[in-house]
């Protein structure tokens, strides 16, 4: 036959739960935070890829004078789940295109490099763990070649 737990045993379990619960909560929020960070990384990689792809196809247009604007439009159109805004206008995402502008139509095979840097804001952990940064830069660089 099972005996009824005494009041001190019930008090002990309450204290143990109170000690372990905050640690488990921070651990769980850390896992969620890493998932958000990985999601941001995938979105930034996709945006850089789309910007480089659209920039590499500029030879099909009349000119590549507005190469940086063309790439930026593609980068900011791609990630619908992130609120990526241009850092030149006070936003959270910087786009660097090399070459920034072209005097003439580039040769087939010339490289175009697109670097997208997004500032990921930590919604959970930085509030509980002071040594965890509130903003984490997520950067992706992609090189493609101008196509026919």
Name the residue with higher pLDDT: 78 or 95.
95
Whether 44 maps to a domain, the answer reads yes
What's the domain range around 82?
10-145
Whether 39 maps to a domain, the answer reads yes
Name the residue with higher pLDDT: 1 or 22.
22
pLDDT in tens, 21-35: 999 988 898 899 899
Whether 67 maps to a domain, the answer reads yes
Q: What is the mean pLDDT of residues 48-66?
A: 81
pLDDT in tens, 83-99: 888 888 888 999 999 88
Neighbours of 144 (CB within 10 A): 18
- Report d(CA 102, CA 99) in Å as an integer: 7
pLDDT in tens, 113-124: 999 999 998 877
Whether 3 maps to a domain, the answer reads no
Number of structural domains found in the chain: 1
Whether 4 maps to a domain, the answer reads no
pLDDT in the model for residue 119: 92
- Report d(CA 64, CA 44) in Å as an integer: 24
Whether 2 maps to a domain, the answer reads no
Q: What is the mean pLDDT of residues 129-138?
A: 85
Average pLDDT, the chain: 85
Whether 5 maps to a domain, the answer reads no
């Amino acid at each position: 036959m099972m005996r009824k737990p005494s009041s001190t045993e019930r008090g002990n379990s309450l204290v143990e739960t109170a000690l372990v619960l905050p640690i488990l909560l921070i651990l769980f929020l850390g896992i969620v935070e890493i998932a958000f960070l990985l999601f941001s990384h995938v979105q930034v990689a996709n945006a850089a890829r789309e910007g480089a792809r659209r920039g590499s196809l500029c030879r099909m247009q009349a000119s590549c004078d507005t190469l940086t604007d063309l790439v930026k439009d593609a980068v900011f159109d791609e990630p619908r789940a992130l609120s990526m805004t241009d850092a030149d206008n006070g936003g959270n995402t910087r786009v660097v295109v090399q070459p920034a502008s072209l005097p003439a139509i580039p040769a087939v095979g010339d490289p175009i490099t697109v670097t997208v840097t997004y500032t990921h804001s930590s919604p959970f952990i930085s509030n509980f763990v002071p040594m965890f940064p509130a903003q984490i830069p997520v950067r992706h660089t992609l090189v493609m070649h101008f196509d026919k």
